[in-house]
Amino acid sequence: MAVRSARPSLYISVDIEADGPIPGPYSMISFGAAVAGRQDGASYTAADPEQHTFYRELRPIGDEYVPEALAVSGLDRDRLVREGAEPAAAMAEFRAWVREVSAGAQPVMCGYPASFDWTFLYWYLMRFGGDSPFGHSGCLDMKTLYAAKARVPLRAAVKGRMPKQLLSRRRHTHHALDDAIEQAELMSNLMLWTPPVGPGAAG
C-alpha cells in the first residue's frame, strides 16, 4: 500500500494580548498574525513576515480584567468597549484569512511560547464560530522547538540563552502584530538552524 505523503505545513506566527490569565472570565483584546514560512517534507522556505499579516483589536467580552495584564498591551479598554471589533466578526475574518494564505497547505499556529496564545486563540475560534482552521491541536511551541534542537531543558529555552543569530533584530513591543512578525523571524531562524555539535555548543 502506498504511503500518502503529508500536506505541506504553513506556519503562522500568532501573538495575542489579553486583559487576564484565561479566556472566558477575561478577554483577548488584540491579536496579530504573520506568515512565517512553509515546510514541504524536509524543506523549509522562510517568508517575508511583513507580506501576509492580520491584526484586530477586539471588544472585551466581560467586565473583569487584571489591571497589570491590561497595562502590558498599552491598549485603552474603554476605547475597545466602544470601538473594538465584535469577536464573532473578527474570528470569521481571521478564519478566511488563514484559509486564503494557507491554500494547498495545512496551517499551523506557532508562538513563543504557544501555550498562552493558543489557549486564547483556540477558545475564541470555537466560542465565536465553532471552527478552527488549525484543528484542535495545530500549534507549535517555539520554546519546545528550540529545546529539542539545542538539547537543553525547556526551562533553559529562553531568548537570553539562545545564539544571537536566531533572534530577530526587531523590538518586542507588546503590540500583537509587531510581536507576531518578530516571532515569525525567530520561527524561520529556528527551522533553518543546524545546531553545532558538542557539549554546550548550542548555548
Question: What positions carry a catalytic annotation?
Answer: 174
The burial of 134, by beta-carbon neighbours within 10 Å (0-12 exposed, 13-18 middle, 19 or more buried), is given as buried
CB atoms under 10 Å from CB of 43, counted, come to 8
Task: Give the whole-angstrom CA distance, residue 138 versus residue 9.
Answer: 10
* Helical ranges in the chain per DSSP H: 67-73, 77-83, 87-101, 114-127, 142-150, 176-192
Task: Give the whole-angstrom CA distance, residue 167 versus residue 187.
Answer: 9
Pairing of strands 43-46, 9-18: unpaired
Beta-carbon contacts of 114 under 8 Å, excluding residues fewer than 6 positions away, are: 139, 140, 141, 142, 143
